[in-house]
């Protein structure tokens, strides 16, 4: 589970940096949850924690195909968390706002991560021979059933073996998590143009735009072919993670701005 826990750490790192950038943008203008409050709703108390505690029960779906206009499930999740964050900020309920800020950020981070652009659900359904809603226990999430022992071994190798479905997914996320640990990410600070854009077009349109840009980097394809290497790590540091942090910061800023407008 170390790779899984490392991805918890990546979410927390991104939240911390995004909150630092947001603080500079809204200094003296009003209240927003602190880094500590937001991070309190990551990890085991966040979306990934639900996957461990109650498999297939209320799990937020954070996979996204940027090339499929009909794939809107994650957009609905982002829209809901954004609206609830604005509502909590208006009510000055910082505990609720921290929860919504964390979950909004989590959806954006996962949705912009190349491993989440892979058709994971379709492949998982193919291997299991049934829908993902049938994974009702921790065991069901990690063990693929089979018609007989050879079939079960074959399917689980496709899941966990070399370049297996979940093994590859976790290895990519682990690589991102390790790569970003020492980064300050000062280049992820939103510009005035970034702010004007998100206030004009909205968070969902920003997410779609950024997801398409990330998809065009073909990072997961490169990883699947060659594994982690210096070039991919550099692309993660210089392009992927700054884009993700910038997007989270802008989403929080847009919610803060909308809540402030209601006060005037």
DSSP characters over 16-84: HHHHHHHHHHHTTT-----HHHHHTTSGGGSHHHHHHHSTTSS-------TT-TT--HHHHHHHHHHHH
What's the DSSP call for residue 162?
T
Residue ranges making up the domain that contains 250: 2-261
111: CATH? 1.10.575
| pLDDT > 70? residue 55 | no
The CA distance from 56 to 141, in Å, is 9
For residue 157, what pLDDT is reported?
75
Domain count for the chain, please give it. 1
The CA distance from 142 to 145, in Å, is 10
Q: Give the pLDDT confidence of 31-51 residue by residue, as tens digits.
A: 999 999 999 997 655 565 445
Q: How many CB atoms lie within 10 A of CB 55?
A: 19
- Please state the rounded mean pLDDT for residues 213-226: 94
Q: Give the pLDDT confidence of 161-186 residue by residue, as tens digits.
A: 777 778 888 888 888 888 887 778 88
DSSP code string of 199-239: HHH-HHHHHHHHHHHHHTTTHHHHHHHH-S-HHHHHHIIII
Question: Which residues, at least 6 apart from 151, have a Cβ–Cβ distance to it below 8 Å?
Answer: none
**Single pTM value for the model:** 0.85
């Amino acid at each position: 589970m170390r790779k899984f826990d490392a991805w918890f750490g990546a979410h927390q790192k991104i939240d911390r940096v995004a909150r630092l950038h947001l603080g500079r943008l809204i200094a003296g203008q009003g209240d927003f949850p602190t880094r500590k409050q937001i991070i309190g709703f990551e990890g085991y108390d966040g979306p990934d924690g639900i996957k461990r505690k109650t498999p297939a029960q209320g799990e937020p779906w954070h996979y996204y195909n940027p090339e499929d206009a009909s794939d809107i499930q994650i957009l609905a999740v982002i829209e809901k968390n954004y609206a609830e964050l604005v509502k909590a900020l208006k009510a000055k309920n910082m505990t609720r706002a921290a929860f919504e800020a964390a979950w909004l950020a989590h959806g954006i981070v996962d949705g912009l991560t190349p491993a989440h652009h892979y058709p994971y659900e379709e492949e998982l359904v193919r291997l299991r021979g049934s829908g993902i809603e049938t994974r009702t226990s921790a065991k069901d999430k990690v063990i693929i059933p089979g018609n007989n022992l050879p079939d079960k071994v074959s399917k689980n190798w496709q899941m966990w073996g070399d370049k297996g479905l979940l093994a590859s997914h976790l290895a990519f996320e682990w690589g991102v998590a390790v790569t970003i640990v020492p980064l300050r990410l000062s280049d992820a600070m939103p510009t005035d143009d970034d702010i004007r854009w998100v206030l004009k077009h909205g968070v969902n349109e920003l997410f779609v735009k950024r997801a398409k840009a990330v998809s065009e980097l073909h990072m997961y394809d490169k990883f699947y072919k060659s594994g982690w290497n210096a070039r991919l790590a550099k692309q993660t540091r210089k392009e992927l993670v700054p884009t993700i942090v910038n997007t989270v910061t802008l989403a929080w800023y847009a919610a803060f701005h909308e809540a402030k407008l209601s006060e005037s």
